[in-house]
Amino acid sequence: MLKDTSFAIHPGKEQQTGPVIYQDIGNVLKHTPVDNIYLFTCENGDVAVQFYTDSIVRVVMNQKTEPKLHASKAVHVTPEDVRITEVNSEEVLKLKSNKLELIIRKTPFRITVKDDQDRLIVAEGERGMAYRENGEVTVFKEMNENDHFYGFGEKSGYLDKRGEKYEMWNTDVYAPHNPETDPLYESIPYFMTLRQGRAHGLFFDNTFRTEFDMKSASDYYSFSAEGGQVDYYVLAGPEPKAVLEQYTHLTGRMPLPPKWAIGYHQSRYSYKTEMEVRELAKSFVEHDIPVDAIHLDIHYMNGYRVFTFDKERFPNPEKLVYDLKEMGIRIVPIVDPGVKKDSEYPIYQEGVRENLFCKYIEGDIYFGEVWPGESAFPDFTDGNVRKWWSDKHAFYTNIGIEGIWNDMNEPAVFNETKTMDVSVIHRNDGEPTTHRELHNVYGLFMGQATYDGMKEQLKGKRPFLLTRAGYAGVQRYAAVWTGDNRSFWEHLQMSLPMVMNMGLSGVPFTGPDVGGFAHDTNAELLTRWTQVGAFTPYFRNHSAIETRYQEPWQFGEKYEAIMKKYIQMRYKWMPQLYSLFFQASKHGLPVMRPLLMEYPGDVKTYNLNDQFMIGDNVVIAPILTPSTTARAVYLPAGDWVEYTSGSMYTGGKQHLIHAKLEDMPIFVKKGTAVMQGEWNSNADKTSKNIRMDVYAGDGNGTYVFTYYDDDGETFAYENGSYLKLDVEVISNRDRVEVNVRSKDGDYVPGYKEITVNIIGLKEGQNVIINGEINRDNDKLSLKV
Ligand code: GLC
């Protein structure tokens, strides 16, 4: 195609554009407080300012009508009763909560937000809120020279997004994901700014195509939308963790996943027959390689019709699901939104008869080409349609399926625009709205329908949902994989900042296709990628049709042994990971974190792309290039112990670390602890013994962590059936203390105690467990 040749940069193609003309919001004409909402009538539009909590304030501007405050697809909480003090003068109105101060200049309307220490968070200068003739709305904010930007959902490129410009428009991109490939499948119009150790957040809740520009100017940034209102929230921080708690207070947190979902998943486009799936499961058992889920890609269906099985390829899916479950393995089938246009296919018939598909305003169903050929698309923006779709999942749950994989839900369509006609009108629960406005939430609503349906039908068991597309809040329903990457080292590298920024965008349960989807993988890449995968929150190996098979044993024994070691390691770390997932479900904190989250005062962490943390005390520094057996590792303040070798390193500097193919450097901070389980077998994945590895420190530190456990598969924890231990580790020159500070819940696990293993105890240091000094080197343990 010509656009893929140098013709694309033909000089005659330069676009001649004139200056963009913005209409500024103008001066404030009057303002009125109404129940914690401050309404401003300005020359060119109306603005509402609303405190959600002490630390969260919302600004809504509508240039045509009164600001709409109840239309959010992402925010499900209502504002708290926030005490505000008000100081009004001719020039400014100051509104102050306990944590935030808004200074609103009246001529023209400009907002400055400060924290409780009078420090600037966001500010507007010459330009503030504005709009254009074509309906586009834009907000300009001053950019500080020390600002670093993170989040923005699923973006390629590096961790720090300063100097970048991004668009939000859910897009199916099979072409290689390059640094300039934007947008991708997920739209999360949210970011966090880190400025000299302090952080704040900004969530632009607009579902239209939006743009964030931190590139075009050096002293301001902007965000804009193709239509709709300006509707954004400022989150006070001041720590990155606080920002994330605030953001997920608004958009929700991930549900606690079933334990099996955080194990290893094996996928392929496609394992095409029941026989092949059985053979695959058997191989995992024979090789003693852990696997919790096998995914069925589109070939399981009859002509790619959702809610069907191909009778020849999968003659007895119920037995398959049952037999595999006996082996400790779950089946996760793919479900795409497109319903094949086929007048003899019941799902299509129902959809047409009951008026459930997306339509044009004139009443015609919208058809688009996807895997099954011409297809109709359920209108998930409507509650009735969601209910219908939810109920349809009985087809899967009735045969024992507990997990679903949603794909193509941008929605992807095989045409020039890659998606549905933007003029399609969605029902939107009684407020008909165009696809142009709701495109970015189509996948979110499909996820909601799927998750809710599965949850209802599983009667107390936790469902698992994986999705490709989503919007802010997607974490409430689904884990996210990062779409069609390739078996390139560059894509392994890119997956780290991508997954970290997803975590900073409120989506902790994320991972790339391990090994790479398109293109042929190779032994070394797959091995290195599997090592990383063992510590990324979502861990699935997936590959495309006609590429080389990439199950862990495909490249011979040498590589298999290494991959097996790391997949098993995932299971050894399960108690630690599960406790972190618990934290994610409670506070919205990511499992996999950039170092800046724990060390926001350390500028060396601000754009550290090739290392990450698991929780607050483990640094992983994988090898991400071929034929490489050493790398520089930056360890932040503290002392660190390498997990496998036991070698010690001082933090606050870089080290050259050697790592042969069988090694991936993992560092645990001294003075902290990690919980470890064991690998038994595929049929029995529950650890009988739990160990707490305490990395003795000597620097007068106290470390507190929460260990969490429960049955791992039901919602019984909601009624108190869990075990939660707050454990503190105190390290002094003369002692290491391990104390259970508090115990919660009435779940009784299979183990009676947690073995305590002290690593690196110094001469002269006593060990004290729960206040008792250990004199005779007994086996140390904590009762549970
Ligand atoms: C899309 C998905 C991919 C899947 C394929 C076939 O490309 O991103 O994961 O294997 O469709 O269903």
Using the mean position of ligand 1's atoms as its centre, give its distance from the Cα of residue 270 in Å.
Answer: 9
Sign of CA dihedral 5, 9, 11, 14: positive
CATH numeric code, 21-251 = 2.60.40.1760
Dist. CA 94–CA 730, nearest whole Å: 45
Instruction: Tell the CATH topology of 688-783.
Output: Immunoglobulin-like (2.60.40)
Ligand 1 contact, 407 CB (< 6 A)? yes
Q: Give 92-127 pLDDT, tens digit per residue.
A: 999 999 999 999 999 999 999 999 999 999 999 999
Is pLDDT above 60 for 1? no
Cα torsion angle, 333, 339, 344, 346, sign? positive
**405 CB near ligand 1 (under 6 Å):** no
The residue count of the chain comes to 784
Residue 289 Cα, ligand 1 centroid: separation in angstroms?
25
Which ligand 1 atom is at minimum distance from the Cα of 544?
10
pLDDT digits (tens, 9 = 90+) for 307-360: 999 999 999 999 999 999 999 999 999 999 999 999 999 999 999 999 999 999
- CA dist 95 → 33, 58, 112, 238 (Å): 11, 13, 11, 19
The stretches of 327-441 forming alpha helices (DSSP H) are 346-353, 383-392, 394-397, 435-438
Is 736 touching ligand 1 by the criterion CB < 6 Å? no
Per residue in 191-219, pLDDT (tens digit) is 999 999 999 999 999 999 999 999 999 99
Residue with tokens 């688009």, as numbered in its chain? 368
Q: What is the pLDDT of residues 625-656, one digit of tens each?
A: 999 999 999 999 999 999 999 999 999 999 99
Would the pLDDT of 160 be above 90?
yes
Reduced to 3 states, what is the DSSP secondary structure of residue 497?
Answer: helix
Q: Catalytic: which of 172, 407, 560, 710?
A: 407
* Greatest alpha-carbon span in the chain: 85
Find out whether the beta carbon of 335 lies less than 6 Å from any atom of ligand 1. no
**Is residue 430 classed as helix, strand or coil in its secondary structure?**
helix
Q: What three-state secondary structure class fits 605?
A: helix
Distances in Å between the Cα of 203 and the Cα atoms of 50, 200, 212, 445, 731 are 14, 10, 11, 19, 40
User: Look-up: residue for tokens 């404030």?
Assistant: 28
CB-ligand 1 contact for 469 (6 Å cutoff): no
CATH 2.60.40.1760 residue ranges in the chain? 21-251
Give the mean model confidence (pLDDT) for residues 539-550.
98
Rounded to whole angstroms, the Cα distance separating 485 from 482 reads: 7
Rounded distance from Cα 452 to ligand 1 centre (Å)? 23
Tell me which DSSP letter residue 518 carries: B
Distance 441 CA to ligand 1 centre (A): 20
Query: Which residue among 517, 542, 543, 545 has the greatest number of ligand 1 atoms within 8 angstroms of its CB, and so is best to mutate?
Result: 517
Give the integer Cα–Cα distance in Å for 575 and 288. Answer: 20
Integer Cα distance of 313 and 273 in angstroms: 5
Determine the pLDDT at residue 104: 98
573 CB-side CA count, 13 A: 24
Query: For residue 428, what is the DSSP state?
Result: G
DSSP string, 658-723: E--TT---EEEETT-EEEE-----SS--S-S-EEEEEE---SSEEEEEEEEEE-SSBSGGGGT-EE
Residue 274 in tokens: 């029941």
Predicted pLDDT of residue 310 = 98
Q: Is residue 231 flagged as an active site residue?
A: no
The average confidence (pLDDT) of the chain is: 96
- Residue of 186, 274, 484, 698 marked active site: 484
For ligand 1, the distance from its centroid to the CA atom of residue 395, given in whole angstroms, is: 22
Per-residue pLDDT tens over the stretch 50-59: 999 999 999 9
| Atom 7, ligand 1: residue with shortest CA distance | 484
Residue 106: both structure tokens together: 């009246």
| Residue 700: pLDDT over 90 | no
* Beta strands 766-769 and 772-774, pairing class: antiparallel
CA-468 nearest atom, ligand 1: 8
DSSP bridge pairs for 41: 30, 46
Q: Ligand 1 pocket test: which of 297, 369, 413 has the largest number of ligand atoms within 8 Å of its C-beta? A: 297
Q: Is 772 assigned a catalytic role? A: no
From ligand 1's centre to the CA of 31, what distance in Å? 52
Question: Is 410 assigned a catalytic role?
Answer: yes
